[in-house]
Amino acid sequence: MSRHSSLEFREDIRKMPYRTAQIRLVASHPEVYEPCDDSFLLVDALLSDQANLLHHQPRVCVEVGCGSGYVITSLALILGKQESGGVYYMATDINPHAVSVARETLNAHGIDADLVITDVASGLDKRLEKLVDVMVVNPPYVPTPEEEVGCDGITASWAGGEDGRSVIDKILPVADKLLSDRGWLYMVTLTANNPSEICLQMRRKGYASRIVLQRSTEDGQGSMIGSLLSQFPRFPFLTHGDSKKN
């Protein structure tokens, strides 16, 4: 029932305009999230921040919940082939099929990255502690009953539990642990996830935040927001998603 409404919600956001990076999807699987408007929003946010990213010179980049691999592959292309010589990429997903598809996507674009099937970054958090300069996340953020969170297969790609915050709230402390002193977190949220509360919570841990991109979802759930939370207070202001322009 609610699964159904969540799928309808996906149909709604599919109508939005977007700009995409040139990623070829060489593999797919019925249980793996196909790049959708939220994926495009995140990649567009990274693209619009490309100059900052290049200047930032990240050495270690991590994606949590990589799905098809569309975002991490795009990030590697955005940072550039030559530059990527110096960048270590790591991506995780809880869905084994997703990781297999991501492997093929990365291979097709000549990107070397480590892939691990795991819950958020479990098993990596000791060794990657304070090493990650850029973390990107398009989390399952759709408000659903709690039971649907972390289910097998495609359900895990959107089911976000109460306020769509269950997985996000698991990711935030992990991000805080893994990010280096100059680390940045790019994350997609919905207005329904209460992004200003997320920013506030992260501000207490020493993160500044800014909205990189915002698009409306046309279904009453408010805007989809690609925001940057940066550990180093480079952007010493805090905004939150109340403007609903497209």
Partner 1 sequence: MRLLTHNMLSSNIKGVTNGFPLALEVTKLVTKPVDFNPDFLKNMLLKVEWKALVEASRAMGYAELPEQTEPSMVESEEFLRKFHHALLELHLEEGSLVCPQTGRKFPVCKGIPNMLLHEDEV
Ligand X SMILES: C[S@@+](CC[C@H](N)C(=O)[O-])C[C@H]1O[C@@H](n2cnc3c(N)ncnc32)[C@H](O)[C@@H]1O
With binding defined as CB under 6 A, does residue 134 bind ligand X?
A: no
Do the Cβ atoms of 57 and 108 come closer than 8 Å? Answer: no
Rounded to the nearest angstrom, the gap between the alpha carbon of residue 246 and the centroid of all alpha carbons in its chain is: 20
With binding defined as CB under 8 A, does residue 80 bind partner 1?
A: no
With binding defined as CB under 6 A, does residue 157 bind ligand X?
A: yes
With binding defined as CB under 8 A, does residue 114 bind partner 1?
A: yes
DSSP 173-233: HHHHHHEEEEEEEEEEEEGGG-HHHHHHHHHHTT-EEEEEEEEE-SSSS-EEEEEEEESS-
Residue 70 interacting entry, from partner 1, ligand X, none, C-beta within 5 to 8 Å by type: ligand X
- CA angle, residues 119, 123, 124, in degrees to nearest 5: 100
Do the Cβ atoms of 70 and 25 come closer than 8 Å? Answer: yes
With binding defined as CB under 6 A, does residue 76 bind ligand X?
A: no
Of 139 and 195, nearer to partner 1 (C-beta) is: 139
Helix 96-108 with 70-79: angle, nearest 10 deg = 30
Of 140 and 183, nearer to ligand X (C-beta) is: 140
With binding defined as CB under 6 A, does residue 70 bind ligand X?
A: yes
Do the Cβ atoms of 203 and 197 come closer than 8 Å? Answer: no
With binding defined as CB under 8 A, does residue 86 bind partner 1?
A: yes
Applying CB under 6 A, the span of 21-29, 86-94, 106-114, 224-232 interacting with ligand X comes to 86-94
- Give the count of beta carbons closer than 10 Å to the beta carbon of residue 122: 12
Shortest gap between Cβ of 3 and ligand X (angstroms)? 15
| Binding residues vs ligand X (CB under 6 A) | 33, 35, 38-39, 42, 64-68, 70-71, 92-95, 98, 119-120, 138, 140, 150, 156-158, 167
Binding residues for partner 1, rule: CB under 8 A, are 59-60, 85-88, 90, 94, 96, 99-100, 103, 112, 114-119, 122-128, 131
